[in-house]
Amino acid sequence: MRCAVIGAGSWGTALGMQAARGGHETWMWDRDADRAERMEAQRENRRYLPGASFPPTLHVGNDLDRVIDGAELVITAVPSPHVRAVVGSIAGKLRPGQVICSASKGIEVGTLETMEQVLDEVLPAALHGQVTALGGPSFAKEVAQGLPTAVVAAGRESWACHVVAEALHNGFFRVYSSDDIVGVEIGAALKNVLAIACGVSDGAGLGTNARAALITRGLAEITRVAVARGANPLTLMGLAGLGDLVLTCTGDLSRNRRVGLGLGQGQTLAAVVEGLGQVAEGVVTARSAWALAQKLGVDMPIGEQVYRMLYEDKPVYEALRDLSGRERRAERD
């Protein structure tokens, strides 16, 4: 098949490489024409994934219309704040039969919508059944290296999930399917916020007991939000929930965890983000996740403290004190 990937960051590049490894003609779009030309000439993304050579069937271009033309699968991998504008610009050019897979992870600030909801708003109604979402524990660098990875593709229509799996399921990369797109998207977005919390804890030297508690109670928070949005709670026990949460909260390649590490070590958010050099989706999502929890009437104490550390400059130990000092309650409440 022919595949298109919108966005040439580390994750978009890794997915483009994975599709191309299966022998599919794959085009990747970069908004910067010079960068696109360099990647095509150098046959690698030296900015984000240096040393990972492109398969012969992967190409890079700056003409978005050309990139998506004739593609049976269109993967969106731009940062979540840009999904509405970028996909909206091509909505009229997508056709019935083209599957749209959201690999962008986040909740839109202001609207508090998941990427699926954003896509439903900008795409014609006839294409809504073709929208899918990809989630699961998958660092871009390891995918680009061809290391074993398992993800889940979720959508309303099983045939659309099958198209995603057909494009990406090869080598050591496994693609499972799900009909719970809400659960997969909420899990994929909110785990980034919890990864910041775990990074803060590790950076402040609070120990592995604290990290385990944050992961476990963080999963409870994510599940509460997802269920309030209509998700199946079992989805959050799977790849897009527990799997992605554990990876992002403990892995050294996690950008969101690195943001938390810096904050826990006393750095300012501005300094941490500047040193990172890439987008950490959890920084933006922390604001929208806390607002969404309030809107849904869902208890999200860890998410609240991450928000207050990021946007109200709340000291780490004050956040810890407020978390630890909460009223006792039953675990399953």
Per-residue pLDDT at 278 exceeds 80 = no
Partner residues linked to 153 by β-bridges: 134, 177
Q: Matching CATH topology for 2-179 and 186-324?
A: no
Per-residue pLDDT at 274 exceeds 90 = no
Angle, CA of 144, 40 and 73, to the nearest 5°: 60
Average pLDDT over the chain reads 95
Mean pLDDT, rounded, for 239-260: 96
CATH code 3.40.630.30 for 186-324: no
CATH of region 2-179:
3.40.50.720
Question: Quick one: pLDDT at residue 275?
Answer: 87
Question: Quick one: pLDDT at residue 280?
Answer: 80
With bands split at pLDDT 50, 70 and 90, how would you rate the model's confidence at 238?
Answer: very high
Q: Annotated catalytic sites, by residue?
A: 191
Alpha-carbon Rg for the chain in angstroms: 19
209: number of Cβ within 10 Å: 9
Residue type, 288: S
Among 62, 107, 115, 129, smallest CA distance to 84 is for: 115
Question: Quick one: pLDDT at residue 119?
Answer: 97
Host H or E run for residue 201: helix 181-203
DSSP string, 72-119: SEEEE-S-GGGHHHHHHTTGGG--TT-EEEE----B-TTT--BHHHHH
Among 151, 155, 161, 172, smallest CA distance to 239 is for: 151
Answer yes or no: pTM beyond 0.85. Answer: yes
Cα(197)–Cα(316) distance, rounded to whole angstroms?
Answer: 10
Domain extents for the chain?
A: 2-179, 186-324
Q: What is the pLDDT of residues 125-172, one digit of tens each?
A: 999 999 999 999 999 999 999 999 999 999 999 999 999 999 999 999
The strand order across the sheet containing 173-178 reads 58-61, 25-29, 2-6, 73-76, 99-102, 131-135, 149-155, 173-178
